[in-house]
Amino acid sequence: MTTVSVAVPRKGRPLEAVLDRVARRVDESSRIPTDSSTDVTALADSISSTLRYEKAITKGRQDAADDVYERLAAYSSLDDPTRPEYTLLRDDRDGRPRRIVFDSVTIPLGDIDLQLIGREEPFRALRTHDFNLGFDSADLVLEEVVGLREEPIERISDINARIDPRDTDVRVVGGLGDTVYHTLMGTPETCQRTDVETFDREFVEQYEGPLCISPRYERLVQAVLGTAATDGVTFQYPDDGREEEASIADVGLGIYLTMTGSTAREHGLELGERLFPSETVLMESIAEESDAISFVEELLVGESQESALAV
């Protein structure tokens, strides 16, 4: 039996996207024995529902009769690796309460055991060669290792082409389609400040002035727009504890993650171009390859048409 370990997020939408993808691809694959004892769909639903419940408790939206340690003991099973394990993590809210998050589970795939292991920073776990495969946000790759150039980044091939092999051997394989977008947004007055009729990258190229973004996204925005477009732009950051869209409305122009844009419109903002899709991606360390790793990689991504990054 060969074990392939994959680093995954410990909680939230990215982990749910991974679990959904694993369950669906295992169910669809003709190369996995149908008599497997693990119901992967039920397993994925169980993990997701448990973590949603725990999130609600942590956020004060749900009450629990048992304390966190009793719940942790009830969820976990040390005797059966095909049942999920959980662990405790300090939440970032005031008081830093303990929150139950995903730790690990093993999914039999015929001759291969797929082991999903929770990590706070899966991308960095690949960079240090703790894993050969892992799922994390595409944003982290842009924030940490992608070289900045005058031209913008628009697709996965652009990302991989700008990773310095002397810096890391991690490459992006494909996305899961759990897509939200880094979207250009601005006030109607700001949208009229250039001769460009469309509210898109070309608008930013002609624009000079403040641009409101979250501090962690400064390098990402430069990579996505290209350094030529950000020449003449001054980055500003939202005030602590204030909604990003509210700060963007004060500044006049900004970039923030959005799905529907409803919150932006509530602040009187117009939505421009969807600059770059933020989604969970499968990454590989190209330093080590094997038939088992290739099988898991193909199973988890394959020829997926769901990823906005693949376009």
**Which residue has better confidence, 1 or 96?**
1
* Alpha carbon distance 222, 57 (integer Å): 38
Nearest to 11 by CA among 107, 113, 82, 116: 116
Nearest-angstrom CA–CA distance, 143 and 148: 10
Instruction: State the pTM of this model.
Output: 0.85
Residue in this structure with the two tokens 């949603």, named with its chain if needed: 52
**Residue 85: its H or E element:** strand 85-90
Distance CA 284, CA 293 (A): 9
pLDDT at position 34, please? 57
- The pLDDT, as a whole number, for residue 311 is 47
> Which pLDDT score is estimated for 87?
94
Structure confidence by residue, pLDDT tens digits, 12-45 = 989 999 999 999 888 877 677 655 557 899 999 9
pLDDT, tens digit, for every residue of 175-187?
Answer: 888 888 899 999 9
The pLDDT tens digits of the residues spanning 254-301 come to 999 887 788 889 999 999 999 888 889 999 988 778 888 888 988 888
* Residues 8, 42: Cα–Cα separation, whole Å: 19
Cα–Cα distance, 22 to 6 (Å, whole number)? 11
The packing angle between helices 12-28 and 40-58, to 10°, is: 170
Residue 206 near residue 195, CB atoms below 8 Å:
yes
Kindly state the DSSP code that residue 238 receives in the 8-state scheme. P
Task: Map residue 297 onto helix, strand or coil.
Answer: helix
